[in-house]
A = this chain, B = another copy of it.
């Protein structure tokens, strides 16, 4: 199985925090990201994709700052 763990890059501390495990689907929608994992759990977050590193099973997100929101 090739799902990935999704991490949130925290600009303020320069580190990544685990946001959701074993994610299958990631879909940008209305300026947010919709995530769904292999257990059927769903989350939506006002973030954008910062990097995919698929061989390492990693998806890195970063928060969309309010000042950038459309």
Interface residues of A (CB under 8 A from B): 1-4, 23-28, 38, 48-55, 57, 59
Contact = CB atoms under 8 A, between A and B. Distances in A.
Contact of A59 (B51, B52, B53): B52
B55 A26 contact: no
Contact of A27 (B2, B38, B51, B55): B51
Central interface residue in A23, A26, A50, A52, by most chain B CB within 10 Å: A52
A1 to B, nearest CB: 6
Contacts of A57: 2
B48 A28 contact: yes
Contact of A2 (B49, B50, B55): B55
